[in-house]
Amino acid sequence: MDLSRRQILQGSGAALAAWALPYRPAAAAEVTLTPRPSRAALIGSGAPDTEVWAYNGKVPGPVLRFRQGERARIVVENRLPEPTTVHWHGLRLPNAMDGVPNLTQKPIEPGGRFVYEFDLPDAGTFWYHPHMRSAEQVERGLSGAFIVEERESTAVDRDVVWLLDDWRLTPEAAIAGDFGNPMDASHAGRLGNTVTINGRVPAEFRVRAGERVRLRLINASNARVMALAFEGHAPTVVAVDGHPVEPHAPEDGRIVLGPAMRADLVIDMTAAPDRPYPVVDSFYARGAYKLVDLVYEGGARSAQPRGAVAAMAGNPLPRPDLGRAARHRIELGGGMMDPQVMRAMREGGGREAVARMRERMRQGRIWTINGVAVLGHLHEPLLTLERGRSYVFEMRNDTAWHHPMHLHGMPFAVLSRNGAALPRRVVQDTVLMNPGERVEIAFVAEPVGDWMFHCHILEHQEAGMMGTVRVV
């Protein structure tokens, strides 16, 4: 695979026409990723550049595009001042290729290299990022989109990736150095003050009247949950976390994406082209902001409403057998305003509970899964599962905070929320759990290996909300 060509092809409108040309990569499409210190014009318009860590010197890293059924070969050459790994978020692959330091591979030392190679059974929108000191490495700019083209995809005029990232910048546009501090770690994680689309604070996104756009949203933030509404437009959700869903309008018109989550939308640009249309993120009630404006490039309003959006074929995932599934309880705990501590206070045992909480926090063990706070990637597995067997996790968020829970290697069906079945089948690799919420997920355990299961608010992950599921 020719990387320079790839870089030219990423993102823009011109790209689609180019990669739609007959272009057949060799059996294993190869790319090189070089994480290294670099500079990025995040804000642009005269603001100083930001010192970042970046794959191939670009924030975000290059869009890696493959085709379903291809074999990817990715050579990672570490030019960072510290060890790293690359995790291919949401992909089904052999455990040894999963990029978890000390668990599935040795960290890639500065100057070292590691070759990742795996088949791509599933199409969809995925992404890649380090799994080493993630709260800092990801925040410094290491992330990129990983797109696997369907054999047959829904027909659109343009295919666009928006990798969304939230940064905490100083007034000089430098990345604030307070990574993983206890305040962030015990509350909502590191919320920033600057949100970028593909590494830039955007002023506008240009569209053409009447065109149909596939928009691949990736939330690469450490901690920011987003709820996006497209004023004047009616997006159709066609895939969640890469996996096709029955095309539908988002509930209450907003697309909710916790960190690491993705959504593929189809949007028809059929509004009156005479004014800008803001895209607004209103997840945090008091912190709504305009992400970008959709701006029509002249032309008349298209008279032709487009037809219904066609569903895409699902990925060849094993289907869990719910009748025979073994069930496990997963309980999330800890953090500020810990409901367990609150209950103890009401029942008179508050003093001990608070002392225990303080001690846990002092050790950086702020969050727990089934009562255990895990630091680092090597530890006793939370659960041991049998390969090929179906499992249901009954998860409960017994904390006062949101947690996007991510299971490596095994995409799962989300069955219910607070006991209510979902309106349609949806397969995810990361599920956002609201405070106090119960969520059931189901999956088939495979392949063999130790797979991480953690909160994708990276400050929570590093402060204990992490575990391993072993498949034998």
Binding residues (CB under 5 A) for Cu ion: these are: 403, 455, 457, 460
- 364-to-337, 351, 468 alpha-carbon distances in Å: 16, 20, 19
Cα separation, 169 vs 192, in Å, equals: 7
DSSP code at position 405: E
| Burial class, 219, CB count within 10 angstroms (exposed 0-12 / middle 13-18 / buried 19+) | buried
Q: Which of 88, 136, 127, 85 is nearest to 107 (CA)?
A: 85
Q: Do 91 and 407 contact (CB within 8 A), yes or no?
A: no
Nearer to Cu ion, 6 or 131 (CB): 131
Nearer to Cu ion, 135 or 444 (CB): 135
CB of 464 to ligand C2O, least distance (A): 14
Cα separation, 58 vs 4, in Å, equals: 12
CB of 138 to ligand C2O, least distance (A): 9
Cα separation, 263 vs 256, in Å, equals: 9
Q: Do 339 and 398 contact (CB within 8 A), yes or no?
A: yes
Return the one option of Cu ion, ligand C2O, none that residue 457 interacts with (CB less than 5 to 8 A, by type).
Cu ion
CB of 97 to ligand C2O, least distance (A): 13
Nearer to ligand C2O, 85 or 153 (CB): 85
Return the one option of ligand C2O, Cu ion, none that residue 408 interacts with (CB less than 5 to 8 A, by type).
ligand C2O
**Which residues contact ligand C2O (rule: CB under 6 A)?**
87, 89, 129, 131, 260, 406, 408, 452, 454, 456
Return the one option of Cu ion, ligand C2O, none that residue 460 interacts with (CB less than 5 to 8 A, by type).
Cu ion
Nearer to ligand C2O, 233 or 406 (CB): 406
Enumerate the β-bridge partners of residue 296: 207
Return the one option of ligand C2O, Cu ion, none that residue 214 interacts with (CB less than 5 to 8 A, by type).
none
CB of 129 to ligand C2O, least distance (A): 6
Query: Can you say how many angstroms the Cα of residue 353 is from the centroid of all Cα atoms in its chain?
Result: 34
Return the one option of Cu ion, ligand C2O, none that residue 218 interacts with (CB less than 5 to 8 A, by type).
none
408: tokens are 């490596």
Over the Cα atoms of the chain, what is R_g?
22
Q: Report the chain's terminal Cα–Cα distance, integer Å.
A: 35
CB of 446 to ligand C2O, least distance (A): 18
Return the one option of ligand C2O, Cu ion, none that residue 406 interacts with (CB less than 5 to 8 A, by type).
ligand C2O
Nearer to ligand C2O, 92 or 233 (CB): 92
Nearer to Cu ion, 108 or 185 (CB): 185
Nearer to ligand C2O, 87 or 233 (CB): 87
